[in-house]
Amino acid sequence: MRLPVTAFGNGALELPVPRATAAVARGVLRAGTEEIADHRQHPATIRAFAKHHPRPPTVAEDARMRPFRFLATVNDNRRFDGLTSLARKAEAVGCAAFVLPDHLTAYAPIPPLAMVAAATERLRVGTFVLNIGLRHPAVLAQDLATLDALSGGRLEIGLGAGWNKPEHDAIGIPFEPVGVRIKRLTEGIAILKGCFAEGPFSFSGEHYTVTDHVGAPAPAQRPHPPFFLGGGGKRLLTLAAREAQIVGLAPRLVQGDRPGLEARSMTAAATEEKIGWIREAAGDRFGDLELNTYSSGGPTVVTGDPRAAARRRADHLREQTGVELTVEEILDSPHMFIGSVKDLTRKFVELRERFGISSFLIDDLDALAPVVEELAGR
């Protein structure tokens, strides 16, 4: 069921009504796989049925519906000649933040983020994401607190356990098993938060030791800037649900000589499972989390023929991974943005209604500016 958004001040776009609301409007009660669809049934009958056949809450009912936030980024972080103009455009169209990746083959993210902050007024800045395994977290805390202070409290800290084995191999830093990397990330988060707090801080773990350290400077945001953590597996998403303010949904990775994505983990069905892990780990704080996704399954394609573009994407994924996804799975995926401006606007609205995803990293600001202008903050 859909309602015109004119009632909410969003022009002519139609918003999907949350499932529970639509069910009441149609006189339909869903209880697991059972359904009463006779709109003539007396409300008392429906209430009695509901009492004995409760259905699980949808994401939209279980979590507070958050306003849309869009994060802009660069397509190529090996050149920054148009960085400030891109950041100003992102701010003008309504993006909430500008983020940069962290790889050894390109510019480091923190210095240019300071430049972005200086060139804008409200735009937040962030990392997407820093590899904790390449830096001691106490040293990283100093860099991040400095950036937060210089930006006037606009920093968002994106952190990861590291996934790019060739980068580690190139500089002689061991690429440890995923469980070890996640443990290192867990300790790193504790150290960052400790360094951002007041007074001397000590920590003794398997990977790091800090003794009576007084972090300086203090970040502008207290107790600390928001943390952005995510991943595609249960362990990382569990950690993110417990420690972060922003949780990023990503496909699972397949390691090898050339790391790749697990195609099946990009589907809507896989996302349902990931949301379940996050909800279970977050407990009472689930409703306070911002859920993010991005077009990790390939670049954004704005087109009037989305099915043809989806077939090409499916062919490419099959060649890369050996996995066959249908056109429908491609178009429904939270990790592939393919369609017209109207299609993508509707898709983002539906992803928020279905999964509670309200935060989107966009890789093509020019193409998606109309979508951002339509939805940002609503």
Instruction: Report the mean per-residue pLDDT for the chain.
Output: 86
pLDDT at 257 over 90: no
Please give the Cα distance from 132 to 285 (Å, whole number).
25
Residues 146, 244 share a domain: no
pLDDT at 22 over 50: no
Ramachandran quadrant class, 166 (left: phi over 0; alpha: psi -120 to 50; beta: rest): alpha
Domain range for 6 is 2-52
Residues 137, 44 share a domain: no
pLDDT at 47 over 80: no
pLDDT at 15 over 70: no
Residue 36 is predicted with a pLDDT of 29
Residues 288, 251 share a domain: yes
Closest by Cα among 335, 374, 372 to 357: 335
pLDDT at 59 over 50: yes
Strands (E), 86-224: 97-100, 124-127, 130-131, 155-160, 201-204, 209-213
What is each CA distance from 316 to 262, 297, 305, 352, in whole angstroms? 13, 10, 17, 28
Average pLDDT over residues 268-281: 98
Residues 44, 104 share a domain: no
Residue 116: which CATH number?
3.20.20.30
Helix (H, G, I), strand (E, B) or coil at 222: coil
Residue 255 is predicted with a pLDDT of 63
Residues 114, 7 share a domain: no
Buried b (16+ CB within 10 A) or exposed e, 10-25: beebebbbbbeeebee
Average pLDDT over residues 225-233: 97
Residues 66, 83 share a domain: no
pLDDT at 1 over 60: no
Among 23-27, 73-77, 172-176, 369-373, the minimum mean pLDDT is found in 23-27
Average pLDDT over residues 328-336: 98
pLDDT at 138 over 50: yes
Average pLDDT over residues 16-35: 37
Average pLDDT over residues 139-144: 98
Give the confidence band of 254 by pLDDT, cuts at 50, 70, 90: confident
DSSP letter assigned to residue 253:
E
Give the confidence band of 77 by pLDDT, cuts at 50, 70, 90: confident
Q: Of 188, 207, 225, which residue sits at a domain end?
A: 225
Residues 164, 91 share a domain: yes
pLDDT at 234 over 80: yes
Q: Of 225, 249, 266, which residue sits at a domain end?
A: 225
Average pLDDT over residues 334-347: 98
Classify residue 373 as exposed, middle or buried by CB count within 10 Å of its CB (0-12, 13-18, 19+).
middle
pLDDT exceeding 90 applies to what percent of the chain?
A: 76
Do 128 and 99 touch, CB atoms closer than 8 A? yes
What is each CA distance from 301 to 8, 245, 274, 307, 361, in whole angstroms? 28, 29, 25, 11, 14
Average pLDDT over residues 313-319: 94
- Express each pLDDT in 115-131 by its tens digit: 999 999 999 999 999 99
Please give the Cα distance from 351 to 334 (Å, whole number).
7
What is each CA distance from 95 to 73, 86, 88, in whole angstroms? 10, 11, 10
- The single residue listed with the structure tokens 């056949």 is 53
Say how many domains are in the chain: 3
Residue 215 is predicted with a pLDDT of 86
Helix (H, G, I), strand (E, B) or coil at 357: strand
Q: Which two tokens stand for residue 302?
A: 């704005």
Residues 249, 153 share a domain: no
Give the confidence band of 179 by pLDDT, cuts at 50, 70, 90: very high
Buried b (16+ CB within 10 A) or exposed e, 173-201: eebbebeebbbbbbbbbbbbbbbbeeeeb
Give the confidence band of 28 by pLDDT, cuts at 50, 70, 90: very low
Residues 314, 251 share a domain: yes
pTM: 0.83
Q: Of 225, 240, 267, which residue sits at a domain end?
A: 225
| Backbone phi and psi for residue 108, each to the nearest 5 degrees, phi listed first | -65, 150
Residues 358, 293 share a domain: yes
Other beta carbons less than 10 A from residue 328's beta carbon: 12
To 5 degrees, how large is the angle CA 354–CA 357–CA 363?
A: 125
Residues 64, 84 share a domain: no
Residue 50 is predicted with a pLDDT of 40
